[in-house]
Structure 1
């Protein structure tokens, strides 16, 4: 290698959240690799005291599995659909132990 690692950003820049891409969320129930990556990301977040946000959650099963793996925050259609700026209501971001899916979305 060239001595460059994108993981070096973890020490170089201040940030407070790691996002889990929706492609891993989508495949969490069917792909051993996706689950392993989610576990690695949530484990890294836990070790570094950094929040993790899973994107693209569409099912209760995805939500349940991500909570079990230690994900701290959640985004996706399960919790609500996108809205125009003039229709948006401020969203309250809840910790994992308080988040509930929006079954009307």
Structure 2
């Protein structure tokens, strides 16, 4: 499609960082040097270390769907997600919420300042050809 590399992001899990050997760091730096962004997936569900956010060059923090699932009715989930959003923004990171399935969840995330959202509210999982067709029609990226 002729998209610039800065249009792409590679997603990594906390587990990759937990066992980060020099090769992983080198590969991530190579991606960043080439313009590819890095997203930390499922943040808060594994052996989270806030040091990862300082040590590695991360562009996006992805809030796991387990915190989004009941964000509109569970004050604890809401507090955790809001805290992640504030912390990420203070560190200069963008935030993506995973598993957004209804307008109420999106509204809570929008109010909290979440940058992006993904989930069935916007689209079901698509085969590559259907996704390409969706992009060609100009489907805008989902924003909170």
Give the TM-score band, short-chain normalised: 0.7 to 0.9
Distance (Å, rounded) in 2 between the aligned partners of 1:66 and 1:33: 14
Whether 1:29 and 2:77 are equivalent positions in the alignment is no
Tell me the equivalent position of 1:84: 127
Gaps of 5+ in 2: 1-47
Mapping of residues 1-105 of structure 1, within 5 Å: 6-89=49-132, 90=135, 92-96=140-144
Aligned length: 93
Q: 1:33 to 1:55 in 2, by over 3 A?
A: same
String of CA shifts for 1:25-59, please: whole Å, max 9, x gaps: 11112222111110110011221121000001110
Q: Which structure ranks higher in relative contact order (CA pairs < 8 Å, sequence separation ≥ 6)?
A: 1
- Please list every run of at least 4 consecutive aligned residues from structure 1 whose deviation after the TM superposition is greater than 4 angstroms: none
When residues 95 and 29 of structure 1 are mapped into structure 2, their CA distance, relative to the original with a 3 A threshold, is closer
- 2: CA distance, partners of 1:30 / 1:95: 21
Taking only aligned residues, the RMSD between alpha carbons, in angstroms, comes to: 1.9
- Residue 103 (structure 1) aligns with: none
Unpaired runs of 5+ residues, structure 1, are 97-105
Per mean C-alpha deviation after superposition, the further-off stretch among 7-16 and 24-33 is 24-33
Length-normalised TM-score, structure 1: 0.79
